[in-house]
Amino acid sequence: MAKTSPAQFVRQVRNEITRISWAGRREVLLATITVFVMATIAALFFLLVDMILSNGVQFILGLGS
């Protein structure tokens, strides 16, 4: 592999930076809202599953007394 001079490396980095397409304000807002909605749905799902399992365990343990 050929070695690259520091000046050539900097030119390559600057060239690559110009190719980056940054997300716009609208895209960032929509992605943020999507993350919050999905996190809320996941939290509610796990809350429901936890409640069902907790009640199931309490029922099973209550059978012995």
31 Cβ contact partners less than 8 Å away, ≥ 6 residues apart: 23
Boundaries of every domain in the chain: 23-65
The full 3-state SS of 25-65, as one line of letters, equals HHHHHHHHHHHHHHHHHHHHHHHHHHHHHHHHHHHHHHHCC
Q: Is the pTM of this model over 0.75?
A: no
6-63 per-position pLDDT tens digit = 999 999 999 999 999 989 999 999 999 999 999 999 999 999 999 999 999 999 999 8
Give the pLDDT of residue 57. Answer: 94
Give the pLDDT of residue 47. Answer: 98
- Cα distances from 55 to residues 9, 31, 52, 60, in angstroms, run 63, 36, 5, 9
Termini Cα distance of the chain: 75
Give the pLDDT of residue 63. Answer: 86
